[in-house]
Structure 1
């Protein structure tokens, strides 16, 4: 039967008409079906392994009410805002099945994998934020396939590498492009200049190859924010930057830009923030300034010359001006002191001169006034605290004269005053001593006079130190050398708990020192030299845990040196020019103290290098004893002496046969109060007490004083031909452990030196090393050995977290509270020792290194460390920084979570690499856990520690967190009731020596992060 063409056409016409008529009502029915869209969301939740943070996503509720979801009036999903939900899996392609989606924000999660090209299918996407995730690889060359409507693209805080592709210049709808803090190590393209609608460009903190600022960037006429800090920029700033009229925020700091500052940059009328610090810019600052909206100018740490422009005085919106560390000269324009919004002024280390503008602080809420290391003369401005918000006055090393501003005496906000090394005179305002927030007052090397008031809290000039000083509990540094202070030091002065430095040398203090000194737990330096103090040296000084530098020379102290001082491991001690008598404590009988006791006629020692008379031949005389009694006692003593000699000879012969050691050749240097003798140690170095051995020697467990106490002995250098590498290890360990004290660093009690062997005596650790617990090895010895036997007890998660926190405390102390910082270089689980309560202590500092000062080489001639724990940049370049310890600690975190050893994998991979692959492949973290801790109630904590381990083992050092940040993260994971503050846990930091203090303080300037 033949079809009728007319009928067929009519049918087609009807169908077409029906579709046209129904399109407005039913054209998007499938896409807008609420049930279908909810099913996509539930599928997404399942793909992400049903995270607890999305437990409210249930079929029984309306998905448009979920806080992460936004729907339009037609109930179609337009926004996904899934932020900080611990998402650990990839973004699936079916997300773009939500056809009306315009907005995706998945930032601050742990999303792994490459850039999700499946998002190309989200054809209406306008906003995409994937920042702060774990995305890796390069940005794809076809990234231009993203929606042409895309306005906002934020990929900051990921691990993208390589180049930024030129194709990104095709996304011409972009208003904001943010690629901050990735691992880009290639280049950024000129084509970014084609993004004509761009208002925000953020490329900071990437290791690009050295590159000029492309001139094409100056075509970005709508650009408001330009952020390119630490992007390895070189060359000059394009002059055309002055044509980018919309610019409000410019940050080109911490690069290698050179040449002049373009005149046009100060002609940008909308400019509010200008950061150009830490470059190589030279020449003068442009004289004409029309950017009257400027709020912050930071041109510090360049090589700028010339004078400060007068036009800066027109910037009525200016809150911060940082010009420190340049070569500027001339006077500060008077008009700058009258700026109504000025809060911070930093002019450190220039060649500025003249009188400081008198109106500083008069018309603005000035907070920080920093003008040291210049040639200013005249008076300090008297209105600095007129608006009662001043925090710091730093004006040392100038030629200032006149009196200290009286208004500062009522400045309750004041915290720091440093006006030392000037020619200031007159009396310090009485009220200054009662300012409760003042922590640092440094006024030495001036011409101040007058007496201290009754309500003193800090320093002194003449007259006595009043008892009211006890009210200033926050005082940390007291510098009052070379004044005319007199009278006794009151007991109340020793009640200041925060004091770390007391310098009262060169005054007229007299009387006895307080006998009870109990609150100076943070004190590291005490200098009372060149006074008229008398009486005995208080034994309580020996109980101050942080004391490192003690100078009591040039006084009239008498009596014996208290043996308690021997407990202190003092790098510097000076008791010379007093009236002391008796024998010096044996801990000080070595060449390190050869000038510490001079000009004390009553002191004696049997060490010739100390310059004291010999103690040999002295006898104790007593007129009350009869000659018969003396004879009897002498006879008895002689008998006992002969018995002792015979016994000693017998024992020594036996000992020589066993170990070929002679007690007379050994020298003991103590760092703690000891309850054992040298003989106790030497007689116990037998095979029966051997508990460990490694590359550095043998380790013994030795009972002391017939009690239940033990010490651990590390013995090195068994051979006559001393290995210089072992010698360096020994000296490094003694140097470091002999000068630091922390409850999470193993305690070195003493060292014993012999001709062919050296012994380090440590506190004994009952629960051996961490590696034996988490790897359940049954080796007879660990590589370290300063520990005890392993019990067959499972190390549960709370104990593992406790160990992680303790280890982090120790490393945080080494990195952030020691000066210079200490780099261990061999952090590993076998060097984490555990006491009876499973408190962690870091051991084996044979490879440790003091981080050297800036400007000196910071590489090691030999790579040292252990496979699996060694940071890749250290193995490759031998560069030493705190980040190599952070990497090793990250490996320990992964060990605690997984139970696997650091070298887990094949011969070319490690635990850190395996864990990173496991995470990037989207595998559940639960599959990586040690079966001993696979407990649901701790999963969130374990999950966080696993991810923290990945952060710490990032291949690039600058992407790893600092130890103080790592510690704070771990502390937040503690159960409530067990939390402790890191500052309460750590002991006082080591003291900066006075010569390096100035450079340290300069780097602490307020403008480093304005």
Structure 2
């Protein structure tokens, strides 16, 4: 057939036109996708801009086109994006691959995905997509091979339509909120190589039918799923399986011996379950196994001798079980072993002598067993050993000199054993060691003259037999935070070089033979929170410079030979909670007022020349004028005695005659004499009603500033009565002025309401609305903390943030709280949060400005870095403290005291999350989240975790404002607002 030239031109022209239309359609679709995906932030995909070139869209980042400029691949990850996926994506008909992972996309998956009939890969993992999975989208995707929806917010039951995807090789539905049972029909997806359902809320029995997935290579089904029953023995028929991860999903029963048939398996994770019985010897058939984790179960028996055949094994975790017997000698001969962790079991006998000779050992933790013998000499023969933890066993003998040359070591914990001999000098000079705990042993000798551990943060040598002086070289440990040398035989003086330890937070040298004076240079250690110099031979006076340590909470100088007076400056140390000056030779009066009002008399016992404020005879001995006056008056004592007795008898008869009237008078009038009630609203009670409640039985809290009572008023209303120590004027009013000025002028639902105050010339009583559920700190860290579920915690975070936002942005002048902490967030009968305790509050005239304080105020663990170093405070200081509260809500841990001395919750969270091998938001949260929580919405926790980490940024300008925080918390992704899944 002949075609004319003109017809040919027309044909070519029509093809060109069609090509032009199709390419421009793809370009337009991409621009629409961009508009939808960048969301309210308005940034991202900046190079997605059309030009005059018809194929300009093919040069967009993440876009791949075919020879006709049709989009075949779309890979946009880690941008991030904050919008949603437009339904227009279904117009990109030639798409083969879609990867939109690791963004912040929200909304639902468009059903228009079903139009992408050529699609082979769909990856939208690590977003905030939600709702039920639209099963209809799989009907038009016959060629789909990879479907990855990991770490989103999908809900409902696991989709069953997926079984129609006959070419599907990779299915990842983990990290969502799917519930119900695993569909048994998933066994029909015979093409599957990879199946991940971990991190959901699945339940029911684990289906044995999945054993029919003959091509399956990786199976992840644990973490937050809670199955009934045990591991199906049928899984032993998955001959292609390389990874089996069933950790943390409530499995019970014994480990099936059939798993030993999986010849290709290199990873077996069954930790954090309720598995019992012995470890099957048949697992030795796992000849390719590299990682075995059976920790945190109820396993019994011994390590099977057959495990000597596991020549590829790198990681062996058996900790927290009930295993016993010997750690087999063959363990040391495993050629590739890097990690051996068997702590908290009942192992006995010695460690294998050859342990470490394979040259690959990195981590050894055998703590809390019944092991004995000496430390194997070759643990670090390969120069890779990082962690050595042998604590709480029965080891003896010296530390091998070879460990003093192990430059790779980062942590050494050998406490509570029977080690003896001299500590190798090299141990104190290892460049990477950050923790050295050798306490509760029988070490002898002296500290070396050369100490230079560049990273040493914790040095604990307490309860040994170490002698000699404390080496001046201790000052070389620039990063030292904890120094514990108590219960040894140290002598000499405290070295002045201690002042070089700028990061030191705790020093304890008690129960030694230390002499000399307390060095005044100690005041340069501004981070000190605890000093214990008790039970030594220190002499001289207590240096007044100690009062400059504004973070000090514990000061124990008892049982020394200190003389002179107690510095009155100490009473201004508001952070001081524990003080002990007992059994010295101090003299003069005990200072009154300030912090001395809350210290027990026992803290000053054993000082015969020390005067109580109420001991007039002692005081007069130190006051000659008063003593001479007393002597002069003694001559009149005899004559006065008769007159005094007569008068007393007369008064007694009068008292007996009118006892009822006198008692009533005292109760109603004399008791309230000079007291004044100042209300801030109408009150239906009187001064007498308040004073009647100041009884020991009504005390509900004590603190450095005073005592809090619960008072039941005659009208049936309960109030909280805060009795402040100190007077109403001067610097010792313990926050009375600040509290009155602040709470007396503001009204907000999430700020505790000050009803009024009662005062006389000596005492102030603040009256608040009563909060029946106490403080967040008491509830969260007490026995009831396990019942504070996620919804309640998130609600408290929002309400507390709202209260602080009011202070920072809606008050004029703005108010800085300066003592934001969980104990100052009170909960009413409905668990609604109210910010309380404004005793340290300050007014700022200009938002964004800062004010220089004369000293640090606040609570240890909550104080912002710039406040501690520069004494400058602004609203971002409150933001940091609030971030610490958020971390308490997430982790369930206290801000200090649970992570080792000198480590607070912020440092612990940063360190813990940085050690995750495969970092991600969900992995970070799961590493630190409160183990008492269950069924929480992961996206909601991640949302709060991100906010918390923003709040505790080291630099104030990097932190959000409270207004921004409230916006983030009250407008979270849909999944973050989901109901708690507590079961």
TM-score range, shorter chain: 0.5 to 0.7
- Measure the CA separation in 1 of the matches of 2:493 and 2:531: 16
* Alignment CA distance shift 1:972-1:280 (3 Å): same
- Measure the CA separation in 2 of the matches of 1:479 and 1:554: 18
Moved more, 402-411 or 290-299: 290-299
2:49 to 51, 58, 63: 58
- Measure the CA separation in 2 of the matches of 1:277 and 1:569: 43
Q: What's 1:456 paired with?
A: 451
Structure 2 residue 372 is matched with structure 1 residue 377: yes
2:191 to 170, 193, 197: 197
Q: What's 2:803 paired with?
A: 830
* Alignment CA distance shift 1:437-1:524 (3 Å): farther
Q: What's 2:262 paired with?
A: 268
Moved more, 405-414 or 540-549: 540-549
Q: What's 2:579 paired with?
A: 573
- Measure the CA separation in 2 of the matches of 1:353 and 1:520: 44
TM-score by length of 1: 0.66
Structure 2 residue 404 is matched with structure 1 residue 409: yes
Q: Report if the CA contact (8 A) 1:143-1:167 is conserved.
A: no
1:511 to 508, 516, 522: 516
Q: After superposition, where does 1:336-485 map in structure 2 within 5 Å? A: 336-456=331-451, 458=459, 461-485=466-490
Q: What's 1:671 paired with?
A: none
Q: CA deviation at 1:402?
A: 0.6
Over the aligned positions, Cα root-mean-square deviation in angstroms equals: 5.1
- Measure the CA separation in 2 of the matches of 1:828 and 1:717: 35
Q: What's 1:113 paired with?
A: 107
- Measure the CA separation in 2 of the matches of 1:781 and 1:114: 36
Q: Report if the CA contact (8 A) 2:577-2:704 is conserved.
A: no
- Measure the CA separation in 2 of the matches of 1:113 and 1:67: 24
Moved more, 174-183 or 580-589: 580-589
Structure 2 residue 586 is matched with structure 1 residue 583: no
Q: After superposition, where does 1:526-541 map in structure 2 within 5 Å? A: 526-541=531-546
Structure 2 residue 207 is matched with structure 1 residue 214: yes
Q: CA deviation at 1:309?
A: 2.3
Q: Report if the CA contact (8 A) 1:553-1:577 is conserved.
A: yes
Q: Report if the CA contact (8 A) 1:45-1:54 is conserved.
A: yes
Q: What's 1:39 paired with?
A: 28
SS of 2:201's equivalent in the other structure is coil
Q: CA deviation at 1:426?
A: 0.6
1:133 to 127, 147, 150: 127
SS of 2:624's equivalent in the other structure is coil
1:254 to 245, 248, 251: 248
- Measure the CA separation in 2 of the matches of 1:478 and 1:969: 32
Structure 2 residue 138 is matched with structure 1 residue 165: no
- Measure the CA separation in 2 of the matches of 1:415 and 1:604: 51
Q: CA deviation at 1:245?
A: 1.8
SS of 2:147's equivalent in the other structure is strand
Aligned length: 763
Q: What's 1:597 paired with?
A: 604
Q: Report if the CA contact (8 A) 2:550-2:575 is conserved.
A: no
Q: CA deviation at 1:576?
A: 2.4
Q: What's 2:530 paired with?
A: 525
SS of 1:362's equivalent in the other structure is coil
- Measure the CA separation in 1 of the matches of 2:114 and 2:38: 24
Q: What's 1:550 paired with?
A: 555
* Alignment CA distance shift 1:202-1:338 (3 Å): same
* Alignment CA distance shift 1:345-1:492 (3 Å): same
- Measure the CA separation in 2 of the matches of 1:423 and 1:393: 16
Q: What's 1:805 paired with?
A: none
Q: Report if the CA contact (8 A) 1:548-1:571 is conserved.
A: yes
Q: What's 1:800 paired with?
A: none
- Measure the CA separation in 2 of the matches of 1:401 and 1:579: 42
- Measure the CA separation in 2 of the matches of 1:622 and 1:720: 41
SS of 1:162's equivalent in the other structure is strand
Structure 2 residue 940 is matched with structure 1 residue 960: yes
| Cα offsets for 1:183-234 (capped at 9, x unmatched) | 22333322222221112222222223x3221101111222222222221123
Q: What's 2:505 paired with?
A: 500
- Measure the CA separation in 2 of the matches of 1:259 and 1:155: 32
- Measure the CA separation in 2 of the matches of 1:511 and 1:455: 23
1:285 to 279, 289, 300: 279
| Cα offsets for 1:235-283 (capped at 9, x unmatched) | 1111122211222222211221111112232442222222211111111
- Measure the CA separation in 2 of the matches of 1:523 and 1:236: 52
- Measure the CA separation in 1 of the matches of 2:683 and 2:254: 57
- Measure the CA separation in 1 of the matches of 2:669 and 2:502: 47
Give structure 2 stretches of 5+ with no counterpart: 453-458, 634-666, 709-721, 728-732, 756-775, 836-874, 880-924, 926-933, 962-983
Q: What's 1:225 paired with?
A: 218
Q: CA deviation at 1:104?
A: 1.3
- Measure the CA separation in 2 of the matches of 1:401 and 1:662: 73
Q: After superposition, where does 1:529-678 map in structure 2 within 5 Å? A: 529-566=534-571, 567-586=573-592, 587=594, 593-606=600-613, 615=618, 617-621=620-624
Q: CA deviation at 1:437?
A: 3.1
Q: Report if the CA contact (8 A) 1:512-1:535 is conserved.
A: yes
| Cα offsets for 1:524-574 (capped at 9, x unmatched) | 333333222222233333333333333333322222233343315444333
- Measure the CA separation in 2 of the matches of 1:696 and 1:199: 74
Q: Report if the CA contact (8 A) 2:375-2:395 is conserved.
A: yes
Q: Report if the CA contact (8 A) 1:433-1:459 is conserved.
A: no
* Alignment CA distance shift 1:540-1:350 (3 Å): farther
Q: CA deviation at 1:865?
A: 0.5
Q: Report if the CA contact (8 A) 1:729-1:846 is conserved.
A: no
| Cα offsets for 1:565-587 (capped at 9, x unmatched) | 33154443333222222233335
* Alignment CA distance shift 1:371-1:968 (3 Å): same
- Measure the CA separation in 2 of the matches of 1:532 and 1:485: 11
- Measure the CA separation in 2 of the matches of 1:34 and 1:315: 58
Q: What's 1:995 paired with?
A: none
